[in-house]
A = this chain, B = another copy of it.
Amino acid sequence: MTQVIRTSAELREKVATWKRSGMLVGVVPTMGALHDGHLSLVREARKQSDRVIVTIFVNPMQFNNKDDLEKYPRDEDHDLALLEAEGVDVLFAPGVHEVYPDGFATVVAVSGVSEPLEGAFRPGHFEGVATVVMKLFGMTQAGRAFFGEKDWQQVQVVKRMVEDLNVPIRIIPCPTIREEDGLAMSSRNVRLSPEHRALAPRLHAEMQAAAAAIRAGAPVTATLEAAKAAIGAAGFGAWDYLDLRSAEGLRPITELSEPARILAAVHLGDVRLIDNIAV
């Protein structure tokens, strides 16, 4: 039976009873509209923790686009049923005023790794992420937190913050879960039209082809430009970026001298898809 908790005071009491018994708490922070990607995080959390909290909070502070915030899919009843089936102990689903009460005035900002890519195209996004994640860590007092590599840059920002602020929690990144055709699972995918849904996997296919070419020694810039052109010709909209970056610091690189990833953000209809893969 998954207990639904809506206030941090009630959550703190619950967690205190667990902590007194020496239990390790795992948390999976989400914005709801759960799919198999989230559930893979939940399963990992169950393996690595004595008690599991899943948080659902569509965090206004991390949305730079009001329309995206309003259209973000929400279905708590369905989410709760999925979490029940996974044996989650607590669904923590606070309201906006519980998270940001009147007088709220604190921001956590991570420079460097948060600045390129999503940071450049979504001003303020990672401040919103860092701040709410810090709050959720404080509210849940979890010892482990599980994040999907689909949001690769977010994982790097959270890891940097945890290290810099000496937060007593371990960040566990978990692999991106994909549809059979290769499309990275995302809550926003339900907003794709049938035509665009059919086209969407092409992004991952071209990224894989580019990664293989770069690994085989093809020149980085030309290979990425060709992939962009191919995806554009297939019917995608504007690119935000398609970059080769160092895996941890997300520095731009033009040769494979360290672990690297291709990261992409591209528009398809009024949905913005992001993805990333190891090279």
Contact = CB atoms under 8 A, between A and B. Distances in A.
B107 A109 contact: yes
Interface residues of A, number: 29
B166 A135 contact: yes
Given A8-B166, A20-B22, A168-B12, A108 B108 contact: yes
A138 B109 contact: no
A106 B133 CA distance: 14
Contacts of A134: 165
**Most chain B beta-carbon neighbours within 10 Å: one of A112, A130, A167:** A167
A110 B134 CA distance: 14
Question: How many identical chains are in the complex?
Answer: 2
Nearest to A131: B165
Contacts of A141: 168
A261 to B, nearest CB: 19
Contacts of A104: 164
Contact of A165 (B20, B103, B138, B166): B138
Contacts of A108: 106-109, 165
B106 A160 contact: yes
Contacts of A23: none
A161 interface: yes
A165 B137 CA distance: 9
Nearest to A140: B166
Interface string A166-200: 11100000000000000000000000000000000
B161 A106 contact: yes
Contacts of A103: 112, 160
The 6 nearest A-B residue pairs measured at CB: A138-B166, A106-B164, A105-B112, A139-B166, A105-B111, A106-B110
Given A106-B160, A106-B165, 6 more contacts: A20-B22, A105-B113, A106-B130, A108-B108, A109-B109, A138-B165
23 contacts: A8-B166, A12-B168, A103-B112, A103-B160, A105-B110, A105-B111, A105-B113, A106-B108, A106-B111, A106-B130, A106-B160, A106-B161, A107-B108, A107-B109, A108-B109, A108-B165, A134-B165, A135-B164, A135-B166, A138-B165, A138-B166, A138-B168, A141-B168
